[in-house]
Amino acid sequence: MEKVLDLARANSLWPMTFGLACCAIEMMSASMARFDIARFGAEVFRPSPRQSDLMIVSGTVTKKMAPVLITLYEQMPAPKWVIAMGNCAISGGPFVFEGQYNVIEGVDLLVPVDVYVPGCPPRPEALLEGLMKLEEKITGKRRFPGPEERW
Amino acid sequence: MVGKIKTELGAALGNIEIGEVNYRERGYHLCCEVDSGEIVKVARFFDERGFYLAAEICVDYKEYLELVYIFGNHAALCRVKVALKVDPAKPVVPTISTVFDCAYWYEREIREFFGVTFEGHPNMTYLFLHEGIDYYPLRKGQVQVSAEDKKSLGSFQPEGAEDTFCINLGPQHPSTHGVLRVVLKMDGEYIEEAEPVLGYLHRMHEKMAENRGYLQFHANTGRMDYLGAMAFNLGYVTAVERMCGIAVPDRANYVRVIATELNRLSSHLMWLGAYLADLGALTPFLYVFDDREQINDILEPVTGSRLTYAYFRFGGLYNDVDEAFVAATKAFVERMKSRFVLYEKLVTGNVIFINRTRGIGVITKERARKQAVSGPVLRAAGIAMDMRKTEPCAAYGAMDFDVPVGTRGDALDIYHVRIKEMENAVRIIEQALAGLPEGPVMAEKVPKKLKPPKGDIYHTVETPRGELGIYIVSDESDTPYRMKWRVPSFSNLMVFPELAKGNLLADTVAILGALDLVIPEIDR
């Protein structure tokens, strides 16, 4: 029974509209006609955390934003997942230097992250691949065969 | 104009020396140094003569803090720098927010980053920073925030009265286009007061600039304003080239214009889609992204990125354009012309759109000047000022284009101005393509590590959102001593609290959207 539910969850992820910085534009691109995130059932961007089960952290998280992000994460109903999109969300990205005072060096310090999508900003295809990976994590198998291993 | 101001200012101030500097090197015409007691008088002087306060900058020279006021004029090219020395042990200066409204915000910024207290300023709470910070970030030594200061700074606490209540618009709200938070004090459906709270995306660009080489910082410029990254690139490289006296080949200048205008188009398109989505029309969003992807397809092979470009280099370009780029741009220009007709049909005549934007958020000329508004918002208010015309950099001087202006200054006018600007951008691209010269795209012998001569510069360019001013202080080392970014969205946002007063909550989205804010640029 749980397996069937997982399949349903994986095929209809509802992301939260949570644009933080530059990556948000690529997230929007991913949801538009060319890259069409709707092919994978994840086009229902919800402005409210209570209606969504996927948080795409698309951008830099600052110390001022951190409490807001945690609140939003806690408001999401379980089961819920997090994609860290872009280098800033993964590790602070280019904004980490000696004496920095305002950037959280990785959103995984705040909330548990399921998939990391690197890039500055990642291309929409990269976000889609991240989505595939998340589906794989939920259901245990991949929707399509992955790209060929070349290296 | 410059001579007249010089004599009048000299007469008004008495025995103070007013220096005339080389505009080509410095970006301003006159400079003078005044005592802190006289700054309000100076501000009044410029206010009476129709100047606006472009920027208020603080520089920490260790022995003293220097406050720099840059005054500009909409009608003629005349820029004046007024400097003011402040004792770092006891930094107190009278406020000029009583004269220029925009200083209210500039001074709050300086207060939290440098710890300069402005006497008579009505509200000195944290604007960008969070309460946990215990030193002034942009001071050279680690200067601690004293307990007294911390108490007076404090974070902004919204409070409702008996008949009113507060609601938060943002920081997680789809129509603020990022992480802007506006606290609205409501009387029923009507807004009594709006207070923007910034800093949710403060990424320390100005601090980073002091830690990196000139070329290393270049990548940051594209991340400041990710929608108009090319214009920020252009501003930064031209500012540094101007300091170092590097001449750029013609071909590079033309390609810079093409790339910047393509980026301007994609930025305005993004605004168009997002703004209409805010107002409830989702269809245009899909159309504009179609066009945006076309632009990305053109720029990606030459620049190497889709969004956060770092295409220009000091002295030229990273990469020459090829035949395929020229052909693709020509095809795109033709296509874009037919798209304007489509947008005209889809949006311009739409009754719902007109009713939601006409007469909403009216900006008068006087208010635009006092708040140092710039870009399409300023032009919608009826002031024809465009940095591409007044201070042309790259090959803008050789281009023929109009500066569209509005008549009423409301949200509908801003829309019309932006659409016309897009049409003009297409015109500029066509001309630049026709005149694209052959030749190298990189100046010869540009050193890897640039060490500009000692001094400062205030350099401006027109970004899709307005006047970008870059103030760089060099101490002859390979890192900037201080770099201040006067960003257009920050100044444009300042006008919002005034506009929102007395409006319906639903209309705030129409006003806020029309200003076209990019939050990482405001927060820097």
Q: Is residue B500 part of a domain?
A: no
The tally of domains found in chain B comes to 2
Helix segments in chain A, DSSP class H: 2-11, 22-31, 66-75, 86-91, 124-139
Instruction: Indicate if B146 and B284 belong to the same structural domain.
Output: no
Residue A37: strand, helix, or coil: helix
Instruction: Indicate if B97 and B217 belong to the same structural domain.
Output: no
Q: Are strands B80-86 and B482-486 parallel, antiparallel or unpaired?
A: unpaired
Q: Is residue B517 part of a domain?
A: no
Contact: A24, B270; criterion CB under 8 Å: no
Q: Cα B197 to the chain's mean position, in Å?
A: 18
Q: Is residue A151 over pLDDT 70?
A: no
Residues ≥6 apart with Cβ < 8 Å to B331: none
Instruction: Indicate if B225 and B347 belong to the same structural domain.
Output: yes
Candidates A16, A18, A22: best to mutate against B (most CBs of B within 10 A) is A22
* B203 reaches A (C-beta below 8 A): yes
What's the confidence (pLDDT) of residue B160? 64
Instruction: Indicate if B446 and B325 belong to the same structural domain.
Output: yes
- What's the rounded mean pLDDT across residues B77-99? 87
Q: Is residue B215 over pLDDT 70?
A: yes
Residues ≥6 apart with Cβ < 8 Å to B4: none
Instruction: Indicate if B271 and B143 belong to the same structural domain.
Output: no
Q: Is residue B61 part of a domain?
A: yes
The closest of A1, A19, A33 to B289, measured between CA atoms, is A33
What's the confidence (pLDDT) of residue B50? 86
Instruction: Indicate if B405 and B314 belong to the same structural domain.
Output: yes
Task: Report the number of secondary-structure helices (H) and strands (E) in chain A.
Answer: 5, 3
What's the confidence (pLDDT) of residue B134? 81
Q: Is residue B481 part of a domain?
A: no
Task: Look at A13-22, B88-97, B125-134, B313-322 and tell me which has the smallest mean pLDDT.
Answer: B125-134
What average pLDDT is seen over chain B? 86
The A residues from 86 to 115 touching B (CB cutoff 8 Å) are: 94-95, 97-103
Q: Is residue B31 over pLDDT 80?
A: yes
Chain segment A24-76, per-residue pLDDT in tens: 888 888 888 888 888 888 888 888 888 888 988 888 888 888 888 898 899 99
Helix segments in B145-281, DSSP class H: 147-153, 205-209, 214-224, 229-244, 250-278
Q: pLDDT band at residue B331, thresholds of 50, 70 and 90?
A: very high
What's the confidence (pLDDT) of residue B426? 92
Look up residue B208 and give its two tokens.
């980073």
Contacts of A65 in chain B (CB under 8 A): 171, 179, 200-201
What's the confidence (pLDDT) of residue A112? 92
Identify the residue with better confidence: A17 or B29.
B29
Point out the domain boundary residue: B153, B170, B197: B153
Cis peptide before A79 (omega within 30 of 0): yes
Q: Is residue B307 part of a domain?
A: yes
Q: Is residue B475 part of a domain?
A: no
Cis peptide before B171 (omega within 30 of 0): yes
Instruction: Indicate if B216 and B107 belong to the same structural domain.
Output: no
Look up residue B194 and give its two tokens.
């709006």
Instruction: Indicate if B212 and B348 belong to the same structural domain.
Output: yes
Chain segment B350-395, per-residue pLDDT in tens: 888 888 888 888 888 888 888 889 889 999 988 888 888 888 888 8
Q: How many CB atoms lie within 10 A of CB B320?
A: 15
Contact: A100, B204; criterion CB under 8 Å: yes
B79/B467 Cα distance (integer angstroms): 14
Candidates B202, B283, B288, B290: best to mutate against A (most CBs of A within 10 A) is B202
- What's the rounded mean pLDDT across residues B492-518? 86
Which CATH number fits the domain that encloses residue B14?
3.30.460.80
**Contact yes or no for B209/B480 (Cβ under 8 A):** yes
Instruction: Indicate if B313 and B406 belong to the same structural domain.
Output: yes
* H/E element, B380: helix B376-380
What's the confidence (pLDDT) of residue B176? 66
Q: Are strands B316-317 and B312-313 parallel, antiparallel or unpaired?
A: antiparallel
B239/B247 Cα distance (integer angstroms): 12
Nearest chain A Cα distance for residue B270, angstroms? 9
Q: Are strands B482-486 and B466-474 parallel, antiparallel or unpaired?
A: antiparallel
Task: Report the number of secondary-structure helices (H) and strands (E) in chain B.
Answer: 20, 15
Identify the residue with better confidence: A143 or B382.
B382
Identify the residue with better confidence: B66 or B149.
B66
Residue B19, φ and ψ in degrees, nearest 5: -90, 140
Instruction: Indicate if B144 and B215 belong to the same structural domain.
Output: no
Cis peptide before B249 (omega within 30 of 0): no
**Contact yes or no for B505/B191 (Cβ under 8 A):** yes
Residue B66, beta-bridge partner list: B59, B85
Q: How much of chain A is helix, strand and coil, in % rounded to 5?
A: 45, 15, 45
Point out the domain boundary residue: B91, B121, B153: B153
Look up residue B319 and give its two tokens.
């990469």
Instruction: Indicate if B275 and B419 belong to the same structural domain.
Output: yes
Chain segment A68-125, per-residue pLDDT in tens: 889 889 999 888 999 999 898 898 888 888 888 888 888 889 999 999 999 888 989 8
B434/B223 Cα distance (integer angstroms): 31
State what percent of residues in chain B have pLDDT above 90: 11
Nearest CA in chain A to B226: A22
* A137 reaches B (C-beta below 8 A): no
Q: Is residue B33 part of a domain?
A: yes
Q: Is residue B452 over pLDDT 80?
A: yes
Chain segment B106-162, per-residue pLDDT in tens: 888 888 888 888 888 887 777 888 777 888 888 887 888 777 777 776 666 666 667
Residues ≥6 apart with Cβ < 8 Å to B173: A47
- Report DSSP letters for B159-228, one per residue: ---SS-EEEEE-SSBGGGTBS-EEEEEEETTEEEEEEEE--TT---HHHHHTTS-HHHHHHHHHHHSSSS
Contact: A101, B137; criterion CB under 8 Å: yes
Instruction: Indicate if B88 and B236 belong to the same structural domain.
Output: no
**Contact yes or no for B66/B59 (Cβ under 8 A):** yes
Which CATH number fits the domain that encloses residue B380?
1.10.645.10
Q: Cα A115 to the chain's mean position, in Å?
A: 7
* H/E element, B34: strand B30-34
Candidates B144, B156, B200: best to mutate against A (most CBs of A within 10 A) is B200
- By residue range, what is the domain housing residue B270? 207-470
Identify the residue with better confidence: B9 or B261.
B261
Point out the domain boundary residue: B448, B470, B492: B470
Look up residue B140 and give its two tokens.
């050279």
Q: Is residue B188 part of a domain?
A: no
Q: Is residue B175 over pLDDT 80?
A: no
